[in-house]
Amino acid sequence: MRNIAVVGVGYVGLVTGTCFADLGNKVVALDISEEKIEKLQQGIMPIYEPGLAEVVKRNVEAGRLTFTTNYTETLKDAEFVFICVGTPSGVDGEADLQYVRQAAETIAQEMDHELIIINKSTVPVGTGDWVAEIIHDAQPKPIPFSVVSCPEFLREGSALQDFMNPDRTVLGSLNVEAADKVAQLHLPLRAPIIVTDLRTAEMIKYASNAFLATKISFINEIANICEALGADVKEVAIGMGVDKRIGPRFLDAGVGFGGSCFPKDVLALKHMATVQGKHPQLLEAVMDINYYQRKQVVLKIRELLGEDLSGKTIGLLGLAFKPNTDDMRDAPSIVVTELLIEAGAKVKGYDPVSMDVARRVIRGITFCKDPYEVAQDADVLVIMTEWNEFKQLDMIRVNKLMNQPIIIDGRNIYDPEIMTEQGFMYRGFGRGYNGRTLDD
C-alpha cells in the first residue's frame, strides 16, 4: 500500500486516483473546484463514466479514497503526486500549460518531504524538464524530488477498463530509481512497462494519439474514394483489419474524430513541429480531412434536398463526441449544427446522455426528448453518434414521422440495403455508390 496524491480530478485524475485506490493504495485527490469536490464527497460524479460511481463509492467507504481542495492535506503523507490537470489547446494549437504550472508551483511551495512528481497530463515534449525547473525555483527551501512522465491512454467511456487493462505503461524520467518506484505502483496491472527518458515518454503519448487520429482520417479518405468507386468502406476495413500489421480498430469511417484529445494533441504536435521549423504535412492533412468529414454532412444533405436549405428541418441523433460519454469537447455535432444554421436550416437534436452539457455548448438547436421527437417533421435525420439506442429504432415509425425519409448515417450504423428496403433515401460515409454497392 502506497500513499498517492492526485492533483486534478477530471476525466483522467478521477479515474487514475480511483483505480489506484481500488488496487489497495491510499489516495487523496485534490481539485481547486470546491463545487466538484463537494459533489464527489456526496458521491455525485462530475463526469459521466460508466461504472465509475460504484468504484468511487467502494473506495471512499473503505477509507482508501478522499477528496479535498487542501494541498497540505493532499501532500501530508504522499510519496507520489500525479499531476492530472487539463492542458487545453491555446493559440495556434499550442498546449496551454497554465494549470500544470499552477499545480507544480503549489506542490513546490507546500511539500515538506521528498516526493516523486508524476506528469499524467498530456504535455508537449520537454514539459517534464520545465516542471522540474518550476518546482526547483518555487521551493522555499530545497527538498529532494524527481519528475516522472507517465502518460495516460484512457478512452472516455471505457476509462476504468483501459486503466485496469493497459496495453502498456510508459514511464519517462532522468531518475531511474524514481521511475522504478512508479513502475512498482503499476505492477498489479500486469502489463509491459516501458521505461525511457522524459522527452521520449512525452512523445510516445503524442505519437500514439496522432497515429490513431491519422488512422481515422485515412479510413475516411478511403471512404470518400469508395463512394466514388462503388466500394463499401465497412467491408474494406474488415478486409484490411485482419492484417496483423494494420489491425481492425480505429477503421470506422464517418463524421470524424472529436473529443478532448485527438484534435488537441494533433494540433499540439503540429505546433511543436512547426516551431522547430519542420513541416508536418501529414498532421495538417489529418486535421483537414477530419474537418471535411463534418462538412460532408451538409454536402450530402444538399445533394438530396438541393442547395437551398432555408426552412428545412434537420434532426441530429447523438450530440456527444462518441457514445458512453457526456463529453461535448470538439464533438462533430457542434460544427455540423453551425454549418446547417449558416445554410438557413432549422436543427433539432437529441443525445441519451450529453443533453445538459450540449445545452451549454450548442447554440440555435432545438433539444428533443427522444429520437422520435427529432424525427417528427424532419426533412433529414443525421446519425452523429453511434449510441446503441439508435441501432434498433422503430424505422417504420421514424419514416411516418419524417417529412421526407432521408437518413445521413454519420457513423455507418445502418445497412444501406435494409434502409432502402424500408423506404429511406440513405447516405452513409463510403457505403458504395451513395449507399448502394456495385451489385445494386
Q: Which residues bind ligand UDX (CB under 6 A)?
A: 152-156, 209, 212, 216, 250-252, 254, 256-259, 261-262, 321-322
Phi, psi of 74 (to 5 degrees): -65, -40
Q: How far is the CB of 220 from ligand UDX (least distance, A)?
A: 8
Amino acid identity for residue 206 in this structure: Y
Pairing of strands 80-83, 115-119: parallel
Q: Which three cell numbers stand for residue 379?
A: 426533412
Cα 418 to its chain centre, rounded Å, is: 32
Q: Closest Cα to residue 167, out of 212, 134, 199, 135?
A: 212
The strand order across the sheet containing 65-68 reads 65-68, 26-30, 3-7, 80-83, 115-119, 145-149, 169-173, 193-196
Instruction: Determine whether 19 is an active site residue.
Output: no
d(CA 411, CA 297): 11
Shorter beta-carbon distance to ligand UDX: residue 26 or 322: 322
Report the first-to-last Cα separation within the chain, whole angstroms: 63
d(CA 54, CA 16): 15
Q: Count H helices, E strands: the chain?
A: 17, 14
Shorter beta-carbon distance to ligand UDX: residue 22 or 327: 327
Name the residue with cell 474488415.
Answer: 238
d(CA 284, CA 55): 40
Pairing of strands 80-83, 3-7: parallel
Shorter beta-carbon distance to ligand UDX: residue 109 or 161: 161
Q: How far is the CB of 158 from ligand UDX (least distance, A)?
A: 8
Catalytic residue among 19, 84, 150, 261: 261
Shorter beta-carbon distance to ligand UDX: residue 41 or 211: 211
Residues noted as catalytic = 261
